[in-house]
């Protein structure tokens, strides 16, 4: 199997409904937080234009299917337990799977666009919670989780003060290799951060957090699925979500699931 895509977000927003619609695998779905405890895994398909029409050839793909000029590329999807604030410090259930989520090549952040679910995943009246907060919250949880891993033994390195660029990159690659974060992402993030590699001991905590944030954005591309678009207030919130730094896709996973199984 090729790429692994993690479906993440706070509880009760429709992650499993989305997973089920995308994979056609039946999994528990319910209107309360922490319905999913152990991650669900399955295969979904990414639709991309196939080159066969442009080159006017008959193709015989080995690991995907070409349907009338559209290539269906299989990707493995993992649907995780919901994350709550301070998951990176061990709160809630989803934190147990952050290691697993962070091995993904890309992430789908499902939010309740109607603002009808609070930060803990409890149902509230549509429009009473701001879904933009959900985008900020997940960013923080993922970044802080990575910072925690990154900081292990960081003192040893930073105390050396001056380290060679190669040694620093080698250390970071080793530290983050288990999370499918490659050398290219690390080198690009370091360059974009503008941090001085001459005096690593002069990096502040916020320098580190900004660097990790960049590494994550480069190595784990993420889209926002603005789910529950069928509910009131969702369209208004969708317009506001365009201010987020991510690509935002409107969705009704419940409707997609109903269409997929009928
Ligand atoms: N109106 C509406 N409800 C939805 C939609 N998608 C999911 N739901 C409902 O939202 C509730 C939570 O759905 P789940 O798929 O279990 O949510 P989850 O994010 O996996 O929840 P946890 O596993 O608890 O983290 C269920 O009652 C779903 O039927 C949607 O697009 N529109
Ligand atoms: Mg679930």
What is the residue-wise DSSP string for the chain? ---EEEEE-STTSSHHHHHHHHH-------SSTT---SPEEEEEEEEEE-THHHHT-----SSSEEETTEEEEEEEEEE-PPP-TTGGGT-TTGGGGHHHHTT-SEEEEEEETT--B-TTS-B--TTSS-HHHHHHHHHHHHHHHHHHHHHTTHHHHHHT----HHHHHHHHHHHHGGGT--HHHHHHHHHHHT--SS-GGG--HHHHHHHHHHHHHHHS-EEEEEE-TTSTTHHHHHHHHTTSSSEEEE--HHHHHHHHH-
pLDDT digits (tens, 9 = 90+) for 102-145: 899 999 999 999 999 999 999 999 999 999 999 999 999 999 99
Distance 47 CA to ligand 2 centre (A): 24
Residue 160 confidence (pLDDT): 63
Ligand 1 atom index nearest CA of 81: 25
Query: For position 85, what pLDDT does the model report?
Result: 92
- pLDDT per position as a tens digit, 27-67: 999 999 999 999 999 999 999 999 998 899 988 888 899 99
In this structure, which ligand is nearest to the CA of 126? 1
Chain centroid to CA 249: 14
Greatest Cα-to-Cα distance within the chain, rounded to the nearest angstrom: 63
How remote is the CA of residue 260 from the centroid of ligand 1, in Å?
A: 16
Q: pLDDT confidence of 1, banded at 50, 70, 90?
A: low
State whether the beta carbon of 230 lies less than 6 angstroms from ligand 1.
Answer: yes
Ligand 1, atom 13, lies closest to the CA of: 14
Q: Which of 112, 138, 108 is nearest to 44 (CA)?
A: 108
Q: Ligand 1: distance of its center to the CA of 157 in Å?
A: 45
- Looking at the CA of residue 256, tell me the nearest atom of ligand 1: 31
Give yes or no for residue 68 having a pLDDT over 60. Answer: yes
- What is the Å distance from ligand 2's center to 18 Cα? 9
* pLDDT one-digit tens code per residue, 82-112: 999 998 888 887 677 788 888 999 999 999 9
- Atom index in ligand 1 nearest the CA of residue 9 equals 19
d(CA 91, ligand 2 centre) in Å: 17
Could you tell me the pTM of the whole model? 0.93
């Amino acid at each position: 199997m090729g790429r692994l895509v993690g479906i993440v977000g706070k509880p009760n927003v429709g992650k499993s409904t989305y997973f089920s619609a995308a994979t056609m695998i039946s999994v528990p779905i319910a209107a309360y937080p922490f319905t999913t405890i152990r991650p669900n895994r399955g295969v979904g398909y990414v639709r991309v234009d196939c080159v066969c029409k442009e080159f006017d050839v008959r193709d015989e793909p080995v690991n995907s299917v070409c349907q009338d000029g559209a290539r269906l590329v299989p990707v493995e999807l993992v649907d995780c337990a919901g994350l709550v604030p301070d998951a990176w410090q061990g709160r809630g259930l989803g934190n147990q799977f952050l290691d697993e989520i962070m091995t993904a090549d890309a992430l789908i952040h499902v939010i309740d666009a109607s603002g009808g679910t609070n930060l803990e995943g409890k149902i509230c009246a549509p429009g009473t919670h701001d879904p933009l907060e959900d985008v900020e919250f997940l960013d923080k949880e993922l970044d802080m989780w990575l910072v925690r891993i990154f900081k292990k033994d960081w003192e040893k390195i930073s105390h050396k003060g001056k380290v060679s660029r190669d040694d620093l990159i080698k250390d970071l690659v080793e530290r983050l290799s288990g999370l499918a974060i490659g050398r290219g992402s690390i080198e690009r993030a370091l360059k974009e951060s503008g941090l001085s590699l001459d005096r690593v001991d002069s990096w502040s905590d916020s320098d580190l957090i900004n660097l990790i944030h960049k590494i994550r954005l480069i190595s784990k591309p993420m889209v926002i699925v603005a789910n529950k678009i069928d509910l009131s207030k969702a369209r208004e919130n969708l317009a506001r979500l365009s201010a987020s730094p991510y690509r935002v896709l409107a969705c009704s996973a419940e409707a997609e699931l109903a269409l997929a199984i009928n």
